[in-house]
């Protein structure tokens, strides 16, 4: 019983990180129909910034966290401006290949600068374990889940209730018409990237709390899985991304629990393939038909 609960907590913990990252994928896809492959690598950059801030600049954890989130946000916006904006009217394939290129560029630059070996990130958030129903639960697990849930609530509020959120929804519905209604396309898209990347920054910090390491390729597998989560939930749908994230996290936890942890990655991708075959639009996605 206690094993089930602890695996459940594990699943929710990694699931909430996946959900945060998946939200970024979904938001960007919703607005410019791009699978932003570089999104996972933003997490990696966030981890390195936190490491640099704490180890080399000897800053306090709080400052390191803030710095990492700001760096991620800026990076997301810069990538959008430099690489994606010039290609906005190009074929989707070119945009997708560019995204893959940016992802590889970030990974290889990190490898060049920081070398391939993992860097140990000092603990960012510490606290006592908490007793829940007779079971001691790690403080970071609680923080991860709580922070993720709060972020998701804020994001939902932002998209549903604010003027900027309305602009984002309008652009994702119809870019041209939104522009005719006086919505500034460039700033709306940049804002979307900023929010998505900030969420990736938060995800990066939470990830470092659980696995205190920074390595050049840490973002690729995390990114791929978050991306699977976004597709599973229905890409473009925010509640879908959250559901997808938790599903993937829990699935992984239970595969590990039954002693098949080496097959964890395989199972995640198998879920992806099965979902794509039977419900290509994911759990909450919409079907978009080409006009003939």
Partner 1 sequence: MKNNEKIIPMPLRYLINIVLFVVFLLVMNNLIVSGTIPKYYAGVISFIGVNIILAVSLNIATGYLGQLPLGHAGFMAIGAYTSALIMKAASGSATIFPFALIAGGLIAALFGLIIGIPALRLKGDYLAILTLGFGEIIRVILLNIDNVLGFTLTNGAAGLQKIPKTTNFLITFIMVGITCYVIHTMMKSRHGRAILSIRENEIASESCGINTTYYKTLGFVVSAFFAGIAGGLYAGNIGILSPSAFNFMKSIEILVMVVLGGMGSMFGSVLSATVLTALPEALRRFEDYRMVVYSLVLVIVMIFKPSGLMGTYDFSLNGLLDKLILKFRGNHTEKGAMPQEKKGEAAVRKKEGKLK
d(CA 220, CA 213): 14
d(CA 288, CA 290): 7
For residue 177, CA distances in Å to 23, 32, 161, 162, 170 come to 25, 14, 21, 19, 8
Which C-beta is closer to partner 1: that of 72 or that of 275?
A: 275
d(CA 87, CA 96): 10
Binding site for partner 1 (CB under 8 A): 33, 35, 83, 86-87, 90-98, 100-105, 107-109, 111-112, 220, 224, 227-228, 231, 262-263, 265-266, 269-270, 272-273, 276-277, 280, 290, 292
Which C-beta is closer to partner 1: that of 48 or that of 227?
A: 227
3-state secondary structure 228-269: HHHHHHCCCCHHHHHHHHHHHHHHHHHHHHCCCHHHHHHHHH
d(CA 117, CA 119): 7
Token readout for 247 is 């599903």
Residue with tokens 């994001």: 155
* DSSP one-letter code for 53: I
d(CA 232, CA 104): 24
Q: How far is the CB of 92 from partner 1 (least distance, A)?
A: 6
Q: How far is the CB of 147 from partner 1 (least distance, A)?
A: 28
d(CA 181, CA 150): 32
The answer to whether the CB of 40 falls within 8 A of the CB of 21 is yes
d(CA 43, CA 72): 7
């Amino acid at each position: 019983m206690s094993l089930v609960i602890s695996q459940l907590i594990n699943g929710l913990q990694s699931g909430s990180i996946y959900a945060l990252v998946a939200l970024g994928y979904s938001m960007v896809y919703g607005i410019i129909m791009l699978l932003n492959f570089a999104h996972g690598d933003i997490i990696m950059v966030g981890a390195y910034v936190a490491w640099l801030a704490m180890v080399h600049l000897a800053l306090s954890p709080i400052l390191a966290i803030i710095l990492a989130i700001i760096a991620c946000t800026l990076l997301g916006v810069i990538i959008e401006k430099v690489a994606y904006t010039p290609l906005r009217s190009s074929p989707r394939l070119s945009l997708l290949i560019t995204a893959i290129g940016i992802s590889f560029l970030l990974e290889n630059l990190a490898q060049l600068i920081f070398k391939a070996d993992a860097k140990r990130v000092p603990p960012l958030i510490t606290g006592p374990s908490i007793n829940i129903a007779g079971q001691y639960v790690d403080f970071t697990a609680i923080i991860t889940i709580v922070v993720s849930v709060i972020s998701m609530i804020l994001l939902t509020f932002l998209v549903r209730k604010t003027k900027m959120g309305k602009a984002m929804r309008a652009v994702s519905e119809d870019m041209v018409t939104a522009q005719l209604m006086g919505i500034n396309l460039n700033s709306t898209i940049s804002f979307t990237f900023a929010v998505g990347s900030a969420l990736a920054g938060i995800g990066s910090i939470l990830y470092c709390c659980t696995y205190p390491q920074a390595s050049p390729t840490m973002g690729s597998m995390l990114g791929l899985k978050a991306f699977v989560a976004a597709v599973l939930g229905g890409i473009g749908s925010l509640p879908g991304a959250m559901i997808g994230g938790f599903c993937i996290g829990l699935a992984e936890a239970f595969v590990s629990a039954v002693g098949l942890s080496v097959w964890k990655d395989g199972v995640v991708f198998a879920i992806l393939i099965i979902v794509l075959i039977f419900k290509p639009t994911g759990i909450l996605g919409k079907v978009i038909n080409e006009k003939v």
